[in-house]
Amino acid sequence: MSQSTTSSVVTDASTAKGGGPHVTARHNRLSGGFFRFLVARFLLIIPTVFILVTIVFFVMRATGDPISAALGGRLSPEELHRRIHAAGYDRPLIVQYFEYLAGLLRGDLGTTLTDNQKVSDILLRYGAATLELSLLALIIALVVGIGFGRLAARHRDRTADAGIRVFAILCYATPVFFLGLVLKLVFSVWLAVLPASGRSSLESEMQFGRLVSPTGLYIVDSLQLGDFSVLVDVLKHAILPSLALGLLTAGVFIRLVRTNVISTYTSGYVEAARSRGVSERRLLSKHAWRPALIPIVTVMGMQIAMMLAGAVLTETTFEWKGLGFILADYLKKRDFVAVQGIVILIAIIVSVVNFVVDVVSALLDPRVRY
């Protein structure tokens, strides 16, 4: 903050062109404190991931070696023993732990026991599906959460507010898989307007096979194909899962937006702006909204991490073949090497997302920026 004293930066010339000077002013003074914050926050990722990896590793191994867990009943004791020895699971745990850490640094998350695949390949194959679902759900959550949250704050303690709050609690109180089942029941079974499961129909799937560079994001891929019917098919499949996951998150967002906007809306600076004749609409959309956004963005970032857990349940419900679906599958098969790999992968994603979100919310806050 003390470094923000770079000598007179904004010159008279800058005053001439409306919005311009703000930008220049910001750029030039964005230094010191913010850079320190950025570095400190980035370095924080390392211990976070390290702690999670350590916890996950030792928790998973506390039950014994993964081979007995996965193949326990199916192999003879001798065969089991041979394979455990071959995989090195009979060495001291601490040795295995450091070996695993070393592997991680090389980007090696291990190989699954049941079907001999690299965990990193699983990420490549299934990651896109989860990303697509999460993004769609996030869009729904943001639209519903911010819209309703602000509306509730505006009409605080009136009927509209009460209605929105109950809706939010219902969204939050309904387990995502139950909501999924109900949506399926209504739209796929009773009304029969939307498909019950999967990411696309078989025909579309075959169309995607023709693509040279498929992204795995079906919406993007179908645009690549330029086939409108495929796009419609993909969207139809995506509606229910993203709605289920999106509404779950929307419930949390509504509450978050409402509480924070109310607290800024009743703050001294909004009261002061009101005393100068600023309209209520503008008080809400500018004066109360921007400062409320800082804590909102921070907590929303955490919710994105929680969405990954929601994705596991949603994908299982809709047979949406993403990371969550495959994780649940490996869990059923008791393939703990795969589970460990995927969970650690999620831990890394979560840490990075949180870092990005913290940076975004810091950028929104001039007190950190300068």
Partner 1 sequence: MHEDNANKITVPGDRRLEDLKVSGSRSWFSTLPVIRDLRIAVGWQKGMLVTGLAITIAAVLVAIAAPFLAPYGFAQTKDAQGHDFPVQSAPGAGHVWGTTVGGFDVFSRVIWGTRTAIIAIVIAVVLSIFSGVLLGLVSGYFGGWFDKCCVMIADAIYSFPSLLLAILMAIVISGGQSSLWGGILASGISITVVYIPQYFRTIRAEVIRIKGSAYVESAKVVGASTWRIMTRHLLKNATRTLPVILTLNSSEAILTLAGLGFLGFGIEPTAAAEWGYDLNRSVADVTAGMWWTAVFPGLAIVLIVLGITLVGESLNDLADPRLRARKSAGEVIGSIEDTSVDPQERPGAANEVMAQIEASGTVASGSTVVSSGMAETDDTTVSGGASAPIPDAQAGPIGDDGDTPRTTEADHE
Partner 2 sequence: MSETQQGGVTLTTPHGNLADIEHLSVSFMTDAGSIKAIDDISFTIPRRTVVGVVGESGSGKSVTARSIIKLLPETATTSGAVYLSVRNDEHRLDMLSLSGEQLRQARGSEAAMVFQEPNAVLNPVYTIGWQIEEGLRAHGMHDKRQLRAKAIDILEKVGIPEARTRVDYYPHQFSGGQKQRIVIAMALVLNPGLILADEPTTALDVTVQAEILDLLRLARDEFGASVLIITHNMGVIADIADQVVVMYRGHVVEQGDVDQIFYRPQHPYTKSLLAAVPRIGQRLVVHDASGAVVERKDDWHTQPVVVEAKGLSITYPGRLMQPDFMAVDGVDFTIRRSEVLGLVGESGSGKSTTGRAIAGLQKVSSGSLSVLGVEMNGVRERVFAPKRADIGFVFQDPGSSFNPLMTIAQNVAEPLIVHHAYSSVADAADYVGDLLEMVQLPRAYMNRFPHELSGGQRQRASLARALALKPSLLIADEPTSALDVSVQAKVLELFKTLQAEIGFACLFITHDLAVVDMLADRIMVMHQGRIVEHGDADDIMQHPGDTYTKRLLASLPVPDPREQREHRARLLALS
Does 277 bind partner 2 (CB under 8 A)? Our answer is: yes
- 64/89 Cα distance (integer angstroms): 9
- 218/200 Cα distance (integer angstroms): 8
- 322/135 Cα distance (integer angstroms): 13
Let me know: does 113 contact 66? Beta carbons within 8 Å.
Answer: yes
Binding track over 270-309 against partner 1, x by CB under 8 A: -x-------------------xx-xx--xx--x--xx-xx
Work out what residue 86 binds among partner 1, partner 2, none; the CB cut-off runs from 5 to 8 Å by kind. Answer: none
Let me know: does 89 contact 285? Beta carbons within 8 Å.
Answer: no
- Using CB under 8 A as the binding rule, the residues of this chain from 195 to 234 that contact partner 1 are 196-197
Work out what residue 366 binds among partner 2, partner 1, none; the CB cut-off runs from 5 to 8 Å by kind. Answer: partner 2
Q: Which of 178, 232, 280, 286 binds partner 1 (CB under 8 A)?
A: 178
- 1/5 Cα distance (integer angstroms): 8
CA angle, 296 as apex, 27 and 123 as ends, to 5°?
A: 90
Does 55 bind partner 1 (CB under 8 A)? Our answer is: yes
Phi, psi (deg, nearest 5) at residue 170 = -65, -45
- 184/328 Cα distance (integer angstroms): 20
Q: Which of 163, 194, 267, 295 binds partner 2 (CB under 8 A)?
A: 267
Does 159 bind partner 2 (CB under 8 A)? Our answer is: no
Work out what residue 13 binds among partner 1, partner 2, none; the CB cut-off runs from 5 to 8 Å by kind. Answer: none
Does 74 bind partner 1 (CB under 8 A)? Our answer is: no
Does 12 bind partner 2 (CB under 8 A)? Our answer is: yes
End-to-end CA distance of the chain: 6
CA distances in angstroms from 366 to 31, 41, 331, 357, 370, listed in the order given: 12, 17, 46, 16, 6
Does 40 bind partner 2 (CB under 8 A)? Our answer is: yes
122 vs 347, beta carbon nearer partner 1: 347
- 251/189 Cα distance (integer angstroms): 26
Q: Which of 16, 94, 105, 189 binds partner 1 (CB under 8 A)?
A: 189
Q: Which of 50, 89, 97, 370 binds partner 2 (CB under 8 A)?
A: 370
- 34/40 Cα distance (integer angstroms): 10
Let me know: does 234 contact 202? Beta carbons within 8 Å.
Answer: no
Size of the site for partner 1 (CB under 8 A): 81
Q: Is 199 helix (H, G, I), strand (E, B) or coil?
A: coil
Does 365 bind partner 1 (CB under 8 A)? Our answer is: yes
Does 36 bind partner 2 (CB under 8 A)? Our answer is: yes
Does 6 bind partner 2 (CB under 8 A)? Our answer is: no
DSSP one-letter string for 70-99:
HHTTTS-HHHHHHHHHHHTTTS-HHHHHHH
Binding track over 96-115 against partner 1, x by CB under 8 A: --------------------
Q: Which of 82, 85, 91, 290 binds partner 2 (CB under 8 A)?
A: 290
Among the listed ranges 9-17, 58-66, 210-218, 248-256, the one in contact with partner 2 (CB under 8 A) is 9-17
Q: Which of 114, 120, 215, 259 binds partner 1 (CB under 8 A)?
A: 259
- Using CB under 8 A as the binding rule, the residues of this chain from 341 to 360 that contact partner 1 are 343, 346-347, 350-351, 354, 358
